[in-house]
């Protein structure tokens, strides 16, 4: 069951296929927030997330003819959005000559003593680790799917997730649940 959906998808999708602006806008309105949220949780900046949002919907409008309706519409759009967000990470790494770093984003020394909230801790993870955490734990992708999207191995995805959770646990200084 999808968390997001479009009640009248059967009417909207044919309109998008024919280039109808009202149908395109309806589709955009229905999925703008989840696409942006996914992009923003993975990407480093709001600008990158907004570019991913634009690239995703451009691709959706362009390729809607390939959507056969056999899977969920959100599942199809989410795959495009994930792929665009990961492409953006790869491009930024090349641009910054910042090789795939497994380490964390640098942080001021005094922060280490503070208990972080979950948003800050997530933000502090490396882009790759954050992407794996979000795609696996929140979006529900398997390690095999993440490995495919990232052009990495399943072991890479699993170890990124384990290291990320170890760090999150430490930074959040979690108590034993009651």
Site residues (vs another protein, CB under 8 A): 19, 21, 24-25, 28-29, 32-34, 36-37, 40-41, 46, 49-51, 53-55, 57-58, 61-62, 91, 95, 118-119, 122, 133-134, 137-138, 143, 158-159, 161-163, 165-166, 168-169, 172, 174, 176-177
Instruction: Indicate the residue among 152 and 163 with the shorter CB distance to another protein.
Output: 163
Q: Which residue's CB is nearer to another protein, number 47 or number 110?
A: 47
On whether the CB atoms of residues 163 and 102 are closer than 8 A, the answer is yes
Contact at 8 Å (CB) between 35 and 81?
Answer: yes
User: What is d(CA 90, CA 106) in angstroms, rounded to the nearest whole number?
Assistant: 19
The residue (of 25 and 79) whose beta carbon lies closer to another protein is 25
What are the angstrom distances between the C-alpha of 43 and each of 16, 113, 126? Answer: 28, 26, 10
Closer to another protein by CB, 96 or 110: give it.
96
Pick 66 or 109: Cβ nearer another protein: 66
Residue 68 C-beta: closest distance to another protein, Å: 21
- Which of residues 8 and 54 has its CB atom nearest to another protein in the complex? 54
Residue 109 CB, nearest approach to another protein (Å): 25
Q: Give the whole-angstrom CA distance, residue 144 versus residue 28.
A: 29
Distances in Å between the alpha carbon of 139 and those of 78, 82, 133, 169? 9, 10, 9, 20
Shortest distance, position 149 Cβ to another protein, whole Å: 18
In whole angstroms, the minimum distance from the beta carbon of 111 to another protein comes to: 20
In the bound complex, what is the minimum distance in angstroms from residue 50's beta carbon to another protein? Answer: 6
Report, in Å, the least distance between residue 164 CB and another protein: 9
CA 134 – CA 164 distance, rounded (Å): 11
Q: What is the dihedral of CA 124, 49, 162, 77, to 10 degrees?
A: 160
User: What does the alpha-carbon distance between residue 124 and residue 89 come to, in Å, rounded to a whole number?
Assistant: 15
């Amino acid at each position: 069951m999808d968390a997001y959906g479009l009640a009248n998808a059967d009417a909207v999708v044919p309109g998008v296929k024919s280039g109808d602006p009202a149908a395109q806008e309806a589709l955009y309105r229905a999925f703008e927030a989840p696409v942006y949220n996914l992009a923003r949780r993975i990407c480093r900046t709001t600008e990158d997330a907004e570019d991913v949002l634009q690239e995703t919907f451009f691709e959706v409008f362009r390729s809607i003819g390939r959507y056969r309706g056999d899977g969920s519409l959100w599942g199809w759009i989410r795959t495009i959005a994930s792929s665009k967000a990961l492409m953006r990470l790869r491009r930024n790494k090349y641009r910054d000559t910042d090789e795939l770093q497994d380490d964390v984003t640098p942080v001021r020394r005094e922060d280490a003593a503070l208990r972080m909230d979950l948003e800050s801790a997530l933000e502090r993870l490396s882009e790759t680790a954050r992407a794996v955490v979000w795609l696996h734990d929140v979006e529900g992708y398997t390690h095999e799917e993440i490995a495919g999207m990232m052009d990495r191995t399943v072991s890479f995805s699993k170890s990124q997730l384990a290291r990320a959770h170890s760090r999150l646990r430490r930074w959040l200084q979690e108590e034993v649940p009651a």
